[in-house]
Copies of this chain bind each other. A is one copy, B any other.
Amino acid sequence: MAGKTVNKKCVVVLSGGPDSATVACWAKTQGYQIYPITFNYGQIAVKETQAAQKIAEKLGATTKIIDLSALKDIFSGTTSLVNRKIPLTAEFSAPIIVPFRNAIFLSTAVAYAVTVGAKYIFYGAQGSDEPYYPDCRRDFYEAFEKAARLGTDQEIIVRAPFSSQKKSYLINKGAELGVPFELTWSCYRDGEVHCGRCESCVNRKKAFQDAGVADPTSYEA
């Protein structure tokens, strides 16, 4: 329609890992104007936020880093991602779950979207995580989207564009789009290089292997 401006502003929750980096890159190639947002929630993996900054720069954007590190007070009793005393595992286990983390991130992303006039919120949930992480599931984010529309009185669209695809699919897609995977960080710990042993490192390695894409990551193990 003449004179009608299409709102293609989107807030992308950018964790610093390969999944959300692929979503951000995909959004940009789809013509969205991206507003990345990155959270410090007290995670041991502080390299995530540094990675997110570098990825955003590569995409010609600046990620808004929001310091929610006080959430550690809530999460440290149950979650190995913020508490070193709780052992990490190579396979999925309950202490890897940071309960309702994506909802906290998405709520904040919606607030950010309202202030910048963005209609879309994208995040990097993908199908390989779906069985284990309830806040990565489509039924969750669809319900959340409804709450976002009602709670803001605005037309908000919340999507995890690859939520029905495996992680290896994202790696392939990302490789095709030129995602700077060498800048991404997946490890739950804060070593010089990826530990190679935690669930997140194991999934990262496997996804590159399954995708048949060269893995640029240095692993300790």
By a beta-carbon cutoff of 8 Å, the part of chain A in contact with chain B is: 64, 66-68, 70-71, 73-75, 77-78, 98-104, 106-108, 110-112, 114-115, 134-135, 137, 139-140, 143-144, 146-148, 150-153
Q: A100, B107: Cβ atoms under 8 Å?
A: yes
Q: 9 A–B contact pairs at CB < 8 A?
A: A64-B73, A66-B70, A68-B68, A99-B110, A99-B114, A99-B115, A104-B107, A134-B150, A143-B143
Q: Which of A77, A78, A99, A102 is the most central at the interface, judged by chain B CB atoms within 10 Å of its CB?
A: A99
| Distance between Cα atoms of A115 and B71 in the complex (Å) | 12
Closest CB-CB distance, A73 to chain B, in whole Å? 7
Contacts of A114 in B (CB 8 A): 78, 99-100
Q: Give the residue of B68, B101, B134, B148 whose beta carbon is less than 8 angstroms from that of A70.
A: B68
Contacts of A108 in B (CB 8 A): 71, 74, 104
| Distance between Cα atoms of A77 and B117 in the complex (Å) | 12
Q: Give the residue of B66, B71, B144 whose beta carbon is less than 8 angstroms from that of A111.
A: B71
Closest CB-CB distance, A160 to chain B, in whole Å? 12
Q: Give the residue of B106, B115, B140, B152 whose beta carbon is less than 8 angstroms from that of A135.
A: B152
Q: Which of A75, A77, A146, A150 is the most central at the interface, judged by chain B CB atoms within 10 Å of its CB?
A: A150
Closest CB-CB distance, A105 to chain B, in whole Å? 9
Contacts of A74 in B (CB 8 A): 64, 66, 108, 111-112, 115
